[in-house]
Structures are given as structure tokens and as C-alpha cells.
Structure 1
Amino acid sequence: MIKIAIIDDEVNVRELIKKMLSLISSTYVVVGEAASITSAKTMLTNCKPDLVFLDIKLEDGSSFNLLEQIPQIDFKLVFITAFNEFAIRAFKYNALDYILKPIAPDELKNTLERVESMVYVEKETKALLKNLKDNRASSVQKIALKTAKKMHLLEIDNILYCQSDGSYTKIVTESETILVSKNLKHYQELLPEDIFIRTHQSFLVNKRHILSLENDTIRLKNNDIVAISARRKAEIKAILLNE
């Protein structure tokens, strides 16, 4: 399903587009309509369309005035207009296409085919990335650490932090410190990014074990102090405040 909004001050144009959409495919669902800048702003906020058909001239001004009031345009945009001279300005707003009135069915269909392929690819990509992130976070519960003498099997929740030591890494828990022959980047890629944060080029910290943020350092539950780099301080503070 592709959610569509139609913004045009002519009722007959909106009705024509809806009729054409219904004849082309049932996957196109009109979720909102508007004739003015004022009503369009409310409708776009509430309806969250994938695609917007937007007339250049509205009841209370230009559609460009509407777009300037939208902080983030997160929908595909197709302008509909009787005035060809607006086309160049329309593409300033990354419009996918523009359609001249009177609207030809074949032109509308061609535009929809381009939109459909783009929308579905973007949705599938977002879903795939979300699944990969969720699976990564949920699947890694334990980690195997091989040293010269033994194999350690640790619950990742028990790791307080990891500290770089040249080409080695110290894995620190409340009860022990394990030195392993892999660099810190290896563990940053392995451990869940929603739990472990890179505070410094030498430290990867389990945020669940952070007690406090103190100037340029973090204090952990075992009272160890780890460094925060100046360029990461604001980012880390924001992460901790959102917990």
C-alpha cells in the first residue's frame, strides 16, 4: 500500500486524481486531502503520506510557502500545475516529477510507477536494517574469550568495559580482567551497539554499568574511571540522558 495525499484548491481535480488512482491500482490509498496551506499542514502531520500530489497555487498562497513551513519533507513529492514556468523551482524541493494540467492518465501512471519502485525499496531497506539491528541486539547474549590458558564464556551484561592495550584488549568485569589478543574495534563490532558505547579511542563502555558522568570521565559501578574524548562528550551525555 502506498499512502497518498492530494493538495489542490480545485475539488474536481482532487476527484479526478482519486478516480484515476482507483482505476490504476488498489495499492494506492488516498489518506488525506487539502485545499489550502493551513489545512495541508494539519493533514500532512496527521496522515503521514508516502506521496503527495501538490498544486502550485492554493487557496491561501503558493505551495512553495507551504513547503518552507515543513521542517522535514519525508514524503515523495509530485507537483501538479497548469504553469510550466514553475517546474524549475519545483525541483528545488527534490520533487520526483511534475504533471501539467489537464492531467493525462498515462502521465499519471508513469509517475506512479516510478514512485512505487522507490517507496517499496526504501521501506524494504528500512525494515531490513531494523531487523538486522534488532537481531544483533537480541542474539548476542554471551561472548567467548580465548586466552593462552583457557576459554572464558562471559554474559555480555557482566562486562563493565573494554580497554584497548595496543593490539590487545582488556575485558573488565566486576570480578576479573581478561586480556585477549584482538583489538578494541573487533569487540565494538561484535557487541550490541545499543548497550556498548565508544567513549574514547581506548574505551568501549557498557552503559548499563555507568554510575556517573564527571567532567571528562565516567565512573562505573566498580568505581573504575574511564576517559571520555572531548569530541564524544556531548554525544555520550545525550545518550545517557535519553536512557
Structure 2
Amino acid sequence: MTPLADLTTLAQDALWHGFAVFLRVTAMVALLPAFGETSVPARIKLIVALGFTLIVAPAVAATPGPNGSAALPIMVLTETLAGLALGLGVRLFILALQTAGAIAAQSTSLSQLLGGAAVEPLPAIGYVLIVGGLALAVMTGLHIKAAALLILSYDLLPQGRFVNASVLSEWGLNQVRVAFSLAFTLAAPFVILSVLYNLALGAINKAMPQLMVAFVGAPVITAGGLLLLCLSAPMILSVWLGALDSFLANPFGPQP
């Protein structure tokens, strides 16, 4: 009976450890780009979370067994908060693409074109950038980088401990700053094109007041925006992927 009791104890410890890891993994997967999209069925997300758990659990230190009735609620709260913080940090890069697409679309008069093609109403440029960014991230091993991030997170966010609220809030504000800064950087070519277009339009209107420059210029800025999107999309997605990889490699380090 002694070996059986030891085996039962070992199985209980393994289940408790797996459950603790599953809490953090599930919270992060729910917000992870590509895997946590609203178009992905909940069953698929659950399978993905179980797969990440099987990868991460053997790589982190074993979780001590529950000690007292408060152990379970504390574990659920701390691990869920840690997973949500990591997931939100990664999700902000999708927000950066959405914001960049919105800025570019407003700058080039493309904000209404194919605006309802996505699950969430987005301008066409934003939708194209998001789909391209998600495809590029998955092709370059997003699942491997996410698993490495989860393993690294146990050194940065110890299991079963609440993170200092001031530190977490400062980190979150910095990530929001980085996201909007990145969004404007990605949309900079379209903003520059819009400024040049409006300057040229003003000069033409001043020289030829009788000409309806708005009707002449609207097709020009639309065609120019589409052409600029074709030329700059590879560079935009490359810069975005580099920023995402930098965050996944060191989420709590200095961000550009």
C-alpha cells in the first residue's frame, strides 16, 4: 500500500501543478493574437491552452501543494492576473496595428472602404495590416515565442504572489505608450503623404480658384494611399514584428 500512497500523492501534486500552470496559460491564450481572436471557437482555445500547459508545466518549478482553504482562491487570482497582464501586453501590439490602420485610412480618405469586413468594424487598411501581421507572427513561430514567454514569466511574476500594484500600473502605462508610439510610427508614411497632398491641393486652389480641386484630388489621394500601402506594407509589418519579438523576449525590459 505504501507505493500506491506515494503514487497517489505524486499524482495529486502533478494535477495541482498542472492546474496552477493552466490558470496562467488560459488567461494569456484568451488574449493572445491569432489564438485568442473572437473568431476562434472556445473549444479550440481550450485545446490550445491545454497544449501550452503540457509544454510549460514540465519547464517550471513544481507548485507546492495547497496549504489551507485560502490556497485555491489565492492561486486562481494571482495566476489569472499574471496571465491577463502578459496577454494584454501582447494584445496591445494588435491595437497598435489597428490604430496605425485607422490613422492611415483617415489620412488617405480610405476610412469607409471595406469598413465592415472584419468582426470588429475596421478600415480596410487596418484590416489588411492585422491579417498580414497575424499571419506573419504565426509563420515566424508565435506559439514557440509565447511558450518561452510563459516559462520566463515565472521568474518575473512568481507563482502564487500578487504583483506590486504600482509596478504593474507603471508597466501597463508604459506598454500603452509604446503601443501608440509604434502605431504613429507605422502610419507615418501615410501622414506625410496626406500633408504633402493637402499642401499641393492648397497651392493649386490658390493658383486656380475656379478649378474644383477637391473632385480632382480625391481620386489622387485614394490611388496614392493604395499604392503607398502596397509599397510600405512589408516594411510596416517588419517593424511591427521586430517590436513584438522584442516584447516577447523581454516583456519587462526597456521597450523602444
User: TM-score normalised to the size of structure 1?
Assistant: 0.28
Query: Which structure is higher in helix share?
Result: 2
Query: Which structure is higher in strand share?
Result: 1
By relative contact order (CA 8 Å, sep 6+), the higher-ranking structure is 2
